[in-house]
Structure 1
Amino acid sequence: MTTARWRVFAHDGKAVLTDLVFPGPGNLATSVYADGGSATILSLSVAAVR
């Protein structure tokens, strides 16, 4: 993976975060967590970006 695009929607789309991530060589994993609270992932999609 050379580039990853993150798109996060929260509060029924009222809050949106889009970011590009440039991981180092050999980094194929990622993690998701809530800082200072809890969160529920209702939907998760992973697709190759070409």
Structure 2
Amino acid sequence: MRDQRALDAIRRYITTNPERWTLDLYNCERRAQDPLTREIWQMLLAQPSTQQGG
């Protein structure tokens, strides 16, 4: 994980995923985009990785 904020967002995503099935990209009957998914991806893409290659 990149930082504690990203880890918390991913944990929240996993915990609430069943409740958001109507928004899931892989649900062929989805009703809208999932704002939490968008928030997580924007966060991950905006922050440089803290992991170092070995």
Give the structure with the larger strand fraction: 1
Query: Which protein is bigger by CA-based radius of gyration?
Result: 2
TM-score by length of 1: 0.24
TM-score by length of 2: 0.23
Give the structure with the larger helix fraction: 2
Q: Bigger relative contact order, structure 1 or 2, given CA contacts below 8 A and separation 6+?
A: 2
